[in-house]
Amino acid sequence: MAHKQRGVTLVELMIAVGIVGILAAIAYPNYRNQVLRSTRTEARAGLEQRALQLEKCFTRYMSYTVADCAAGQGAADALTSGGHYRVSISGVTDTTFTLTAAAQGGQVADSGCTSITINDRGQRGPATCW
């Protein structure tokens, strides 16, 4: 009488584990890059929010440097909501400003987009990060 085997052999199991390993090796870096790219939205939102505050001050006082305008002072230097970027102001004069979002923590791995900027004329850089 013939005896039929039941179950999975060790070779079959090793082949399945190898296939899963190869798929994971391909998928994880793509997943990580997508997470880094999606977190850039936090920087863009933080920059645009601070720029809007500065524009409101300019509309009201005709200057970005007025003492009553908290957006032009230290309030503009803060972490974004998720803490992945620090938004700071530089080059601020009565009529100009530049805001920069610098990557913090794990977001520094987002090569090419560790520093994202916007200025008073709405110019954004680097273009690939927007």
pLDDT of residue 14: 95
Provide the 3-class DSSP secondary structure of residue 70. helix
pLDDT of residue 8: 80
Token pair in block for residue 11: 């070779």
Give the total residue count for the chain. Answer: 130
pLDDT of residue 71: 57
Phi, psi of 103 (to 5 degrees): -65, 145
Per-residue pLDDT of the chain (130 residues; tens, 9 = 90+): 677 777 788 999 999 999 999 999 999 999 999 999 999 999 999 999 999 989 998 999 998 888 777 655 655 678 898 999 999 988 888 899 999 999 999 999 988 899 999 999 999 999 999 8
Phi, psi of 79 (to 5 degrees): -75, 150
Instruction: Give pTM, 2 decimals.
Output: 0.77
